[in-house]
A and B are shown apart, each in its own frame.
Chain A
Amino acid sequence: MTNNESQAKVGSSWRKAGVLACGLSLAVSAFSGFALLAHGSLLAQEMEAKPGMSDKPGSLKPDSLKPGVKSPEMKGEMEAMDGPSMKAPEAKVPGAKAAGGGDDLPARVKPATNKPGVRTAASDPVVQFINESLRQGWKDNDVEPSPMADDAEWIRRVYLDIVGRIPSAEEVQDFIADKSKTKRSELIEALLEDPGYVRNFTTIWTNLCIGQRTPRRVSRTGMQKFFREGFAKNRPWNEMVFDLVSAEGHFEKNGATNFILAQMQDNDDGVQLTAKTTRLFMGMQVQCTQCHNHPFNEWKQDQFWQFNSFFRQVRKMDHQKLDPRTGRQVDDYSEVLFRDFSGPVFFEKRSGLMQVAYPIYLGAEVDASEGVDRRTELAKLMTSGERPLVATAYVNRMWGHFFGYGFTRPVDDMGPHNPSSNPALLDRLSDEFVKSGYDSRQLIRWIANAEAYSLTSRGIKKNERDNPAAGETPLFSHIYVKPMRAEQLYDSLIVATNAHKTGRAGWEQSEEQRQEWLQQFVQAFGTDDNEESSGFDGTIPQALMMMNGPLTRDAVALKPGSHLAEVLAGKGNERQKLNILYLSVLSRMPTAAEWARFQKYASSSGGNLIPVYQDMFWALLNSNEFIFIH
C-alpha cells in the first residue's frame, strides 16, 4: 500500500502558499502518474452511486395515471385556467388573529373571487412578519403584487422547489380537485415528509460542496450519504456544518470529510478550503484577500491567513490497493487525518514583507499551541452564538432557492460592502431559525407559506419595475422565473414521460442512466456554481440533447411502458388525451386556443392522430414553459 501525502512540509509551506489566486509559485515539476481530471475515471466514479434509502423516487406513481377519469371536473377547471380570463384566487392572508389579520390588506390584494382552497394558511407570526415586511417594501417602492398563482401554477413550482421534480398529471388533478381551504399548507407539509425533499436537498448540497463533477479522490456517495442522513433526520443545520468543518476519517465511513477533500485538489495549504468554507457556510467572499486587502469589503489580508491557520492541521491521505486482475496499484479510499501543527502561519505582503497570522476567528483568539484541534475550535465558534453567520448565510441561500434571488447578490457575498436588501427580514428570519434549533424544514415552511411565494410569476404593469434580471433590487412582488437545475430537469422528464421504463429495468440501471445523462448535461451546459443565473444559459448541444437525445426519442416513440403509449391506449376522447399530455408536461390544461390548434393539426392528419400526439408531446417537452420554474 502506498500512501501519498498531499500536504506540504511545515517548514517550507509558506513558500508554496499563494498559488491559487495570484500565481506566485515557481515551476513545479515531476508529478508522476497524474491522471487528467476530465478523464473517464470520473464517470466511472459517478456511476458507482448506489441506491440509497431515500434516493428512490418513491413518490412517483406516474403509472397509475388514469386518463379520462376526472373528465367532468377537468372541463370546469380548464376554463378557469385559460390565460386572459384567469381570476386571482383568494389572497387573504390568514393570521393568528384571523379577524384582524386580513382586514388591513390593501384593496388590490383582496380576494378577487371566492374560489376556495388556495390559502397558504399560516397562523405563524414569522410568516406574518415576512408578509408585512414585503408589503411594506411594495408600498415604499410604489409597486403592487401580482395576483395569486392558480393551483396549477403553484403546485408545479412547489414540487420543483421542495422535491425537485414536477408533479405528475394525477398529482395535479388531485390537488386541483381538493376542496380544503388549507390545501397549500398541507401540501407543503406533505412534500417536506416526502423522500423527494431529502433527495433534492442532498443533491443541492452535494453539488455545492464538491461540485457537479466529482473531483479526484472524493466520494460522491459518501458526501450524499452525509446529507441524506442529515436532511432525513432534519438534523440542526449548525450541527451539520460543525461536522463538515471538523470532519476526520475515511471518506465513506464519515461522508462529511468529502467537503474537505474536494477543496484539497491543489497542494495549496488550505487556501481553497479557507475560501470555500467562508463562502459556502458564512456567506463571505475572502478569496481576494489572500493576496491583498480587499478593495471593497472589510476583510484584510491578515484575516484571510488567520482563518487559513485553522486549516493547517488537515492532512489528506490517499490509499491505494493492488488490483489482482491487472497487478497494478489503483485508487482505494482517501481520508482526512490530524496533522501536528502549531504556532502561526506565514504569508507575504505585497511589499514582499513576511508576516505571521495566528488562528483568530472574527476577533476570537484560539490557543495556537500544540495539541489544540483548531478545526474543532473553529467549528464551535462558527456554529454557536446569538446570530452566527452560519445561520444568516443559510437563510439567505434558502430564500434564494425559493425566490430565485436572496437578500444579497450573489447569495454568498454578504457584508457591509454588499448590504442586504431587507436587513430587518433577513435578521428576523435568522434569529427565528436559530431559535427553532436550526430547523431546515421549519425555515422552508415559513418561506413557502409566505404570501409572496403564492403569487403568480406573471408580472403586471404596476410591478414592471421589480425586475432583478435587469439589476434592480428584488422586491418579490411576483415570482421570478428560474431555469431548472440538471437534476430537476432529468427527474421531471422522467415524471412526464416514463422514458426510463422503456426497455431497461431495475433501479441500478435507471440510476446509471440518470448519471450518464447528467454527465452529458453538465458538459453541455458547462454550469458554473459561482454565478447565479436568472436567464436561460443553455447551449446548442443542450437544445440538441432535448430535441433529438435518446430520452426524448424514447418518450415519443410509443414504446410499451412509456407514458405516451399508456395515455394513447387508455380511455378518453381526443380532448381528454390532450389534457393529460398538457397536465403531464406543463402541469396545466391546454387553453382553448391550444385545443383549437391541435384540432387543426388533427384534421389535416389524414385520420392518423398518433403522430400528431407524438409531435405535440415532443413540442411540450422542448418548450420554454417546461424547462423553466415559474
Chain B
Amino acid sequence: MSIFQPDGMSRRHFVRHLAATAATIPALEFISHVRANAAELKKNQKSCILMWMSGGPPTIDIWDLKPGSKNGGEFKPISTKGDLQISEHMPKTAQVMNHLSVVRAMSTREADHGRGTYFMHTGYVPNPTVVHPSFGSVVSYELGTKRKELEIPAFVSIGGGREGTGPGFLGMSNAPFVVDSNGGIRNADLNGVSASQLGRRLDMLGSVEEGFINSQRGESGQSHKEIYQKAVNLMTSKQMDAFKVAQESPETLARYSPTPNGNAMGGGMGGISGFGRGLLMARRLVESGVPFVEVDFGGWDLHNDVFNSLKNRMLPQLDAGISALVTDLKERGMLDNTVIVWMGEFGRTPRINQNTGRDHWAASWSTMIGGGGLRGGVAVGETDSDGIAVASGKSYLPGDIWATAAHALGIPLDTVHTSKRGRPMKIANGGTPIKELIS
C-alpha cells in the first residue's frame, strides 16, 4: 500500500466501520447528518479576508474626504447606510457601509513600499535580527493547524506573495500559498499523467523514501515525506474546486466586476476584474474552511494623475468587489464569521503634487475593517480639516487592526510566539482591539 494514502478515512471504510458498530441508526441517514454538521461547522469557522492595496491607496479620496480643503481634490463625499460618508465613486459600497467601519486615524511612520508592506502585514518594523510572521501566517498557525479536514493550505494569497508577507520564524508550513486570480496553481497540473500512473509513481517514491527514512539519518527524510503528502493531497483534493471561480454563475461573476459583462472569463480586465475574481475566489476558499485569504490589488502608487486613475480605473473595481463580497457573505450567513480588512502599505500625501498626483504619506490615513461580528458603519478617529494630521488624539498602528481582527477570530490576545532565537513576540505586536468596533 502506498504510504501516500491521503489522510482521513475513505468513505467506504467509514461506512463499513459504521455498519459494524452503529447498527441501530440507519447508516446513510447518520452520514448525511454528520455531513450537515460538518457544513454547519464550516459556516461557523472564523476566517479573515485581507484586501491588500499594493502601492499605497489615497485614502483621502476614498474613505476620508476633505471637501473645502485645498487638499480635497476633485471628489465629493456621499452618505452611506452607515454613520459616515465616503467617496462618491463608491456608490455600491455606500449601500453596505452599515457592515463596514473605517479607521481614519492610522499613523504608521513607514512610508517606503518595502518597509510599509512589512509593517502593515506583521505589525512590526523590519529588524535585521528576526523575520516576523505576517498576520496571515499567524492565523494559519493558530487556526489552520486545528482544521483537520482542510486539505488546502490555511493561508492563500491571491496574486500576492511579496516580501514581508511571509511566515518568518513560524516556518514555511505557514507560508502564503500564492495563486493567480484565475486560480492557477503553478505545477499542480498533472499534465496528462493518469491517476493510475500517479499511483505507481507515488508507490515507487514511497519505497525509496522509506528506505532513506529507515537509514538512521535523522528526521529530515520524514519531513520531506510529509510535505510531499500534503502536496499530493492538494493535487487530488476535492477542495481544489474552491479555486475554480468559473464554476460560479455568470450573474455572480458579473456582480464582482464593474462592467456588466460576465462572459469574458480569463480576459484580463476585459471582463470581470482580477480583483473581483480574487474576492470571489476568497469567498469560495473561506467557504471551504481556509482561515486566511489575502487578495492583492495593485496599481495604487498614484504619483501622477490620481483623480482620473481613481474614477476610471481603480474605484469602479474596488466598489464592485467590496459590495459584492459583503452582499454575498451576508446572503450566505457568513459575514459574522468573516473578518474583512482593507489596507495598503500607507496612505498618500494630502497635498496634491504638480503632476496632479499624491505621494507617500504614513502620518494620517485610513484602513477599513468589518464583518466577523465587529461593529459596522462607524468612523474611528479623525484627521484634521486638511487631512495632514490625526486630530482625534488617539492614533492607530497596524498592531491595533490585527488585534481587533484576532479578537474577532477568537485568537487570544495574550498569545506569544517565540522566535528561533528564543525571543518572545506578542501577537499583533501587543496591539489593542479598537473598542469602538467591539460590540
| A interface residue numbers (CB < 8 A to B) | 20-23, 25-34, 36-38, 83, 213, 265-266, 272, 275-276, 285, 287-288, 457-460, 467, 469, 480-481, 483, 520, 523, 525-526, 528, 530-531, 534-545, 547-549, 553, 591, 594, 597, 601, 611, 615-616, 618-620, 622-625, 627-628, 630
Contact = CB atoms under 8 A, between A and B. Distances in A.
A32 B355 CA distance: 11
Contacts of B205: 618-619, 622-623
A29 B349 contact: yes
B209 interface: yes
Interface in B6-35: none
B201 A541 contact: no
A527 to B, nearest CB: 9
A30 to B, nearest CB: 4
Given A20-B128, A458-B215, 19 more contacts: A27-B111, A29-B359, A34-B112, A36-B55, A37-B163, A266-B112, A480-B218, A481-B218, A538-B172, A539-B173, A547-B228, A547-B231, A591-B211, A619-B202, A619-B208, A622-B205, A623-B205, A624-B208, A625-B211
Contacts of A33: 303
Given A21-B128, A34-B113, A623-B208, A543 B228 contact: yes
Interface string B189-200: 111000001001
A467 to B, nearest CB: 7
B11 to A, nearest CB: 25
Interface of B: 54-55, 107-109, 111-115, 125-129, 131, 153, 161-163, 166-167, 171-173, 175, 177-178, 185-191, 197, 200-202, 204-205, 207-209, 211-213, 215-221, 223-225, 227-228, 230-231, 234-235, 301, 303, 349, 353, 359-363, 420
A618 B193 CA distance: 12
A528 B175 contact: no
A492 to B, nearest CB: 15
Contacts of A611: 197
Contacts of B228: 543, 547, 622
Given A29-B362, A611-B197, A620-B208, A544 B186 contact: yes
Contact of A458 (B127, B189, B216, B363): B216
Contacts of B113: 34, 36-37
A628 B220 contact: yes
Nearest to A482: B220
B161 A27 contact: no
Most buried by B among A483, A544, A620: A544
A483 B172 CA distance: 15
Contacts of A591: 211
Contacts of A541: 177-178, 186-187
Contacts of A37: 113-114, 163
Contacts of A553: 191
A32 B363 contact: no
Contacts of A624: 208-209, 212-213, 220-221, 224-225
Contacts of B349: 29-30
Given A275-B128, A545-B187, A625-B208, A539 B172 contact: yes
Contact of A540 (B189, B227, B360): B227
A210 to B, nearest CB: 15
A476 B365 CA distance: 56
Nearest to A146: B216
Nearest to A604: B200
B181 to A, nearest CB: 17
A534 B223 CA distance: 11
A543 B209 CA distance: 14
Contacts of A21: 127-129
B359 A30 contact: yes
B153 A540 contact: yes
Contacts of B303: 32-33
A460 B215 CA distance: 10
3 pairs of A and B residues whose beta carbons are closest in the complex: A619-B204, A23-B125, A543-B231
A295 B172 CA distance: 29
A38 B162 contact: yes
26 contacts: A22-B125, A25-B109, A29-B349, A29-B362, A31-B112, A36-B55, A36-B301, A37-B114, A287-B129, A469-B218, A481-B220, A483-B220, A528-B131, A535-B223, A540-B177, A547-B235, A548-B235, A553-B191, A591-B211, A597-B204, A601-B200, A615-B200, A625-B209, A625-B211, A627-B224, A628-B217
B60 to A, nearest CB: 13
B201 A618 contact: yes
A531 B235 CA distance: 30
Contacts of A538: 172, 223-224, 227
Nearest to A32: B303
A467 B200 CA distance: 35
Contacts of B125: 22-23
A33 B190 CA distance: 42
A272 B235 CA distance: 42
A459 B218 contact: yes
B234 to A, nearest CB: 6
Nearest to B229: A543
Given A32-B303, A266-B112, A623 B212 contact: yes
Nearest to A23: B125
Contacts of B224: 536, 538, 624, 627-628
Given A544-B235, A625-B208, A625-B212, A272 B360 contact: no
Contacts of B360: 28-31, 34
A548 B190 contact: yes
A534 B230 contact: no
Contact of B109 (A23, A535, A620): A23
Contacts of A623: 205, 208-209, 212
A544 B129 contact: no
A594 B207 contact: yes
Contacts of B107: 27
A27 B359 CA distance: 12
A227 B122 CA distance: 36
A459 B161 contact: no
A531 B419 CA distance: 11
A27 B201 CA distance: 56
Contacts of A36: 54-55, 113-114, 162, 301
Contacts of B166: 526
A535 B219 contact: yes
Given A467-B218, A536-B227, A618-B201, A27 B131 contact: no
Contacts of B208: 594, 619-620, 623-625
B220 A534 contact: yes
A548 B190 CA distance: 6
A535 B220 contact: yes
Contacts of B173: 539
Contact of A536 (B111, B191, B223): B223
Contacts of A483: 220
B190 A615 contact: no
B294 to A, nearest CB: 14
Contacts of B202: 619
B207 A630 contact: no
Contacts of A601: 200, 204
A428 B303 CA distance: 59
Most buried by B among A20, A467, A615: A615
Given A25-B109, A31-B111, A611-B197, A526 B172 contact: yes
Contacts of B162: 36, 38
Contacts of A34: 112-113, 301, 360
Nearest to A534: B220
Most buried by A among B205, B209, B225: B205
A444 B125 CA distance: 40
Most buried by A among B187, B189, B225: B187
A579 B104 CA distance: 68
Contacts of A619: 201-202, 204-205, 208
B230 A540 contact: yes
Nearest to A461: B216
A543 B180 CA distance: 18
